[in-house]
């Protein structure tokens, strides 16, 4: 009977059984950032413990860093300054490699892992951030953890965990121009629901997933958590190996060939048995946009917003609350809804391919008057590469602010925030109430190209109109 990648990786990293249902699992790579780690390091100090394998622990700073004048210390925000100083002290004191602001490798933790080749197939990866599922794009079992678990990994390089069930999600059909990885994952969450993945790891496959680039696969895996799944992954294939070759932490020469051999073996067997299987068809699918207060409240850009009484009973109350918060009406379309802010960035869509896709829309166009538009690269490397391609000029000429790397307006722990009831076209992952830094602020999740289209239109737009060249704003 065939085994899944999940099972193979789990078994390879299993240290011991802790109880009938709980295993102790070795964590091959622990990623650390400033928000969820200070209390964990403090707990180690209080118990007189060291970091077990500092060489398997990598830290960076991303959530609280400003995207303007990032290098000027101390920060105006004394709380942010205190957090950064804590991470500097903790990494120095415990001997952990810190890819901080002085490093060429700094950036959002889920962007720098893959781009530096720290993330590799067959690994177990943990980080105190729910979007750790991103790393599954490379065939790793990667999950978000809380601060007590960050402490556990620091002290023992292991976690107490229960095995998940595995749901295979086959995505089939040709995607239309203007439809991106973000649209695919929003469709998956819209179909299976925001709690549909509880208890499951999502294995993404099928022709439409195999066709995606590595960066696009990361976008899909990134949002697994928004569908309730703690883990999402794609089996490693030639696309994965081609992506990894030559990255800083990846072995070279013969060692690379040996690694590829091992990575290939980690993929799910063709006769692997799954706990559940679903197929999602994307043929003819329009770009997707959220209209509510969770990522499952999503429609095609050409579709009317749902009538609450036509929704499944358990979604009705949430829909009514969403309509109250967003101020939209059932039955209408979002097309033409004026936006105040446009944000391209985050661990979901802050990679080079995202800025390229948005630049394709922005080239030769201008952000509409009154729209505040922010482009925030996910890492220094993304920023540098984008600038080498001249993308920063495209964004700048269009009227976007081109910023320093960080999490920025995704969760607004730095000075980038919405104000009042502003409506934001956002390439990020969460449209939760208050997520972008204002209790009454409103978020529409969409692909970076759709954000660019909204920015130049001044309102929610269909990016397909721009790509066809039918609109010349």
Residue from 128, 139, 178, 399 binding other proteins (CB under 8 A)? 128
DSSP assignment, residue 119?
A: S
Q: Which of 232, 337, 256 is nearest to 290 (CA)?
A: 337
How many Cβ atoms are within 10 Å of 335's Cβ, its own excluded?
A: 15
Q: Which of 367, 371, 341, 395 is nearest to 456 (CA)?
A: 367
Q: Is 221 annotated as a binding residue?
A: no
Q: Are strands 158-162 and 22-26 parallel, antiparallel or unpaired?
A: antiparallel
Name the one range near other proteins by CB under 8 A: 245-253, 332-340, 380-388, 447-455: 245-253
Residue from 50, 68, 93, 148 binding other proteins (CB under 8 A)? 148
Residues 320 to 379 in contact with other proteins, rule: CB under 8 A: 321
Choice between 349 and 353, CB closer to other proteins: 349
Name the one range near other proteins by CB under 8 A: 29-37, 331-339, 362-370, 378-386: 29-37
8 A C-beta contact, residue 96 and residue 59: yes
Residue from 115, 152, 183, 392 binding other proteins (CB under 8 A)? 152
Q: Which of 349, 305, 357 is nearest to 329 (CA)?
A: 305
Name the one range near other proteins by CB under 8 A: 212-220, 244-252, 324-332, 344-352: 244-252
Choice between 165 and 384, CB closer to other proteins: 165
Residue from 259, 358, 368, 461 binding other proteins (CB under 8 A)? 259
Distance in Å, CB of 160 to other proteins, minimum? 4
- Reported residue count of the chain is 473
How many Cβ atoms are within 10 Å of 255's Cβ, its own excluded?
A: 10
Choice between 26 and 328, CB closer to other proteins: 26
Residues 213 to 242 in contact with other proteins, rule: CB under 8 A: 225, 228, 230
Q: Does 203 bind other proteins (CB under 8 A)?
A: no
Q: Does 462 bind other proteins (CB under 8 A)?
A: no
3-state SS of 18-78 is: CCCCEEEEECCEEEECCCCCHHHHHHHHHHCCCCCCHHHEEEECCCCCCCCCCCCCCCCCH
Residues 409 to 448 in contact with other proteins, rule: CB under 8 A: 411-413, 430, 432-435, 437, 439
Region label for 469, one of left (φ > 0), alpha (ψ between -120 and 50) or beta (otherwise)? left
Residue from 53, 70, 264, 281 binding other proteins (CB under 8 A)? 53
Q: Does 35 bind other proteins (CB under 8 A)?
A: yes
Q: Does 46 bind other proteins (CB under 8 A)?
A: yes
Distance in Å, CB of 366 to other proteins, minimum? 32
Q: Which of 36, 66, 49 is nearest to 414 (CA)?
A: 66
Q: Is 407 annotated as a binding residue?
A: yes
The CA dihedral of 39, 43, 49, 54, to the nearest 10 degrees, is -10
Q: Does 294 bind other proteins (CB under 8 A)?
A: yes
Write out the binding residues for [4Fe-4S] cluster.
Answer: 347, 407, 410
């Amino acid at each position: 009977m065939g085994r899944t990648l999940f099972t193979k990786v789990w078994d390879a990293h299993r240290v011991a059984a802790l109880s009938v249902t709980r295993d102790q699992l070795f964590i091959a790579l622990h990623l650390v950032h400033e928000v969820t780690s200070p209390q964990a390091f403090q707990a180690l100090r209080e118990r007189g413990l060291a970091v077990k394998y500092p060489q398997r622990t990598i830290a960076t700073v991303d959530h609280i860093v400003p995207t303007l004048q990032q290098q000027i210390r101390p920060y105006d925000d004394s709380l942010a300054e205190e957090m950064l100083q804590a991470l500097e002290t903790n990494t120095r004191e415990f001997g952990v490699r810190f890819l901080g602001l002085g490093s060429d490798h700094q950036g959002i933790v889920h962007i720098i892992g893959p781009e530096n080749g720290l993330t590799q197939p067959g690994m177990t990866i943990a980080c105190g951030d729910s979007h750790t599922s991103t790393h599954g794009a490379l065939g790793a079992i990667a999950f978000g953890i809380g601060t007590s678990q960050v402490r556990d990994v620091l002290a023992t390089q292991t976690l107490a965990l229960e095995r998940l069930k595995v749901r295979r999600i086959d995505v089939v059909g040709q995607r239309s121009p203007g439809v991106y990885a973000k649209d695919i994952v929003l469709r998956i969450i819209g179909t299976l629901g925001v709690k549909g993945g509880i208890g499951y790891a999502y294995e993404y496959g099928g022709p439409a997933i195999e066709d995606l680039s590595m960066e696009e696969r990361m976008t899909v895996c990134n949002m697994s958590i928004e569908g309730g799944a703690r883990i999402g992954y794609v089996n490693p294939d030639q696309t994965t190996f081609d992506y990894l070759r030559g990255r800083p932490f990846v072995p070279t020469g013969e060692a690379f060939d040996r690694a590829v051999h091992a990575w290939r073996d980690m993929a799910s067997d063709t006769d692997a048995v799954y706990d559940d299987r679903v197929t999602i068809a994307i043929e003819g699918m329009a770009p997707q946009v959220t209209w509510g207060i969770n990522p499952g409240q999503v429609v095609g850009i050409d579709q009317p917003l749902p009538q609450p009484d036509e929704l499944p009973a358990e979604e009705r109350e949430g829909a009514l609350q969403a309509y109250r918060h967003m101020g939209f009406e059932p039955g209408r379309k979002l097309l033409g809804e004026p936006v105040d802010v446009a944000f391209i960035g985050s661990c979901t869509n802050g990679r080079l391919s995202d800025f390229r896709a948005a630049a394709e829309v922005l080239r030769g166009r201008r952000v509409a008057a009154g729209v505040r538009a922010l482009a925030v690269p996910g890492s220094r490397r993304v920023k540098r590469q984008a600038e080498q391609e001249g993308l920063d000029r495209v964004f700048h000429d269009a009227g976007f602010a081109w910023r320093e790397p960080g999490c920025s307006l995704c969760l607004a722990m730095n000075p980038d925030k919405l104000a009042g009831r502003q409506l934001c076209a956002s390439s990020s992952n969460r449209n939760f109430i208050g997520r972008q830094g204002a209790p009454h602020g409103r978020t529409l999740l969409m692909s970076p190209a759709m954000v660019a289209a909204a920015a130049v239109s001044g309102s929610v737009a269909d990016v397909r109109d721009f790509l066809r060249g039918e609109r010349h704003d």
